[in-house]
Amino acid sequence: MKTNMFAKVICSVLLGVSTVASAAGLDVQGGVTGGGGNTLTSGFATPAEVAQMIQNSKDQVIAVARMAGVRMQLFPEQYSDQAKALFKVKNQLEQRISGMTIQILTDRPCIDVDGNARTGAWDARKPDIICLSAGDIARFVERSEVRNQVAALILHEVSHSFGFDENAAYEFQRRIMQMVTLSNAREIPPFENKITNVPAALGRNLIYFQKVVIPQMKAYVAAAPEKKCQVMQEIYLPDTEFMMGGSWSLLGVEAGLKYDNWTSMMSLFAKRCYNNMTKSPATYADESFLISNTIAIEQDIHESLGLFSASNGFKVEIH
């Protein structure tokens, strides 16, 4: 029997709900030119360090984008219809990010189409290229904040390729920074420190679902009502870096909310057992959805694993 099982179930749910957000909306098309990113804070990274971090930041950027999608679904009032539209088509934002080449300038700012110096810039005439100034970022960003700030800045520039003007892109960037700041709150482990290798974390949880969670769910559903709490004592949610800390939103919008609902139901059943509430058949009703949802989540993890494993860093041009 696993000790403190009920605390683990409820803790996982609370941590997950604490850091997530949403999608749906209107169709958007690219076609504008934009700069941006002049919202960075003070710090001490070097241009060479920043350039390396940018090159290796694709998993972080995709992960932050997915977390933003879930957050929009939970708190739609915080985002514009244009921002929500980024997540209307499954994985379109992630695929756009993956297809970008990052031009990194180490000794000068980027220049937008109007001739303005920028920390980051996107030009509709070169839609698959984003310019980032590692030199500017090195002057303004603390080393510990580079990954989050770079993710927000890249998403700012990518949003231009979907038709965002400068004001809309800036607002989207600001919301992203609010989200990652919230995920770094004291009670929630910092996202970038909790998941240092996204594919490895997803892979561990895929194996865990296949070998542990699915068999446990089947045993729980098959058990007679009077035996369910006994079986529940052996059930606990995955305790790896992917599932804890709210980072299940890496699954994407629909899958992340599916996992949230699944863990919420598990928490409800666990509390009923813990409080020694009625064990009548009506208490449990039809729980076959637990198995179907568990298998669906396993498939979602597998799909996400393929997306992140194919990242292999940004294509970069360093000048």
Strand partners, 117: 111
Q: What is the pLDDT of residue 315?
A: 94
Q: Are 122 and 97 in contact (CB under 8 A)?
A: no
pLDDT at 236 over 50: yes
Cα(138)–Cα(146) distance, rounded to whole angstroms?
9
How, if at all, do strands 315-318 and 129-133 pair?
A: unpaired
Of 30-34, 198-202, 216-220, least confident by mean pLDDT is: 30-34
pLDDT, tens only, 188-204: 444 555 667 888 888 88
Average pLDDT over residues 11-31: 26
pTM for the whole structure:
0.79
Q: What is the pLDDT of residue 7?
A: 31
Q: What is the pLDDT of residue 32?
A: 47
pLDDT, tens only, 120-175: 999 999 999 999 999 999 998 998 889 889 999 999 999 999 999 999 999 999 99
Q: How many residues does the chain have?
A: 319
Q: Are 122 and 157 in contact (CB under 8 A)?
A: yes
Q: Are 103 and 154 in contact (CB under 8 A)?
A: no
Cα(317)–Cα(105) distance, rounded to whole angstroms?
8
Average pLDDT over residues 253-261: 85
pLDDT at 3 over 50: no
53-62, 177-186, 238-247: which is most confident: 53-62
Q: What is the pLDDT of residue 288?
A: 83
pLDDT, tens only, 276-306: 655 555 555 678 888 898 999 999 999 999 9
pLDDT at 22 over 50: no
Higher pLDDT: 184 or 85? It is: 85
pLDDT, tens only, 111-120: 998 999 999 9
Which band of pLDDT confidence, cut at 50, 70 and 90, is reported for residue 231?
confident
Looking up tokens 């970008």, which residue turns up? 100
- Please provide the average confidence, as pLDDT, over all residues in the chain: 79
CA nearest neighbour of 133 among 159, 156, 111, 152 = 111
Of 4-8, 29-33, 222-226, least confident by mean pLDDT is: 4-8
Q: Which residue type sits at 65?
A: A
pLDDT at 184 over 80: no
Cα(299)–Cα(305) distance, rounded to whole angstroms?
10
Cα(34)–Cα(240) distance, rounded to whole angstroms?
40
> For every residue of the chain, which 3-state class applies, written as one string?
CCCCHHHHHHHHHHHHHHCCCCCCCCCCCCCCCEEECCCCCCCCCCHHHHHHHHHCCHHHHHHHHHHHHHHHHHCHHHCCHHHHHCCCCCCHHHHHHHCCEEEEECCCCEECCCCCEECEEECCCCCCEEEEEHHHHHHHCCHHHHHHHHHHHHHHHHHHCCCCCHHHHHHHHHHHHHHHHHHCCCCCCCHHHHCCCHHHHHHHHHHHHHHHHHHHHHHHHHCCHHHHHHHHCCCCCCCCCCCHHHHHHHHCHHHHHHHHHHHHHHHHHHHHHHCCCCCCHHHHCCCHHHHHHHHHHHHHHHHHHHHHHCCCCCEEEEC
Q: What is the pLDDT of residue 149?
A: 93
pLDDT, tens only, 44-88: 789 999 999 999 999 889 989 998 998 888 889 989 999 999 999
pLDDT at 40 over 60: no
Where exactly are the structural domains of the chain?
Answer: 5-15+195-308, 32-187
Q: What is the pLDDT of residue 176?
A: 93
Q: What is the pLDDT of residue 240?
A: 58
Looking up tokens 């629909």, which residue turns up? 254
Cα(142)–Cα(147) distance, rounded to whole angstroms?
10
Q: What is the pLDDT of residue 5?
A: 34
User: Residue 71 class from Cβ within 10 Å (0-12 exposed, 13-18 middle, 19+ buried)?
Assistant: buried
pLDDT, tens only, 205-214: 899 889 988 9
Q: What is the pLDDT of residue 201?
A: 83
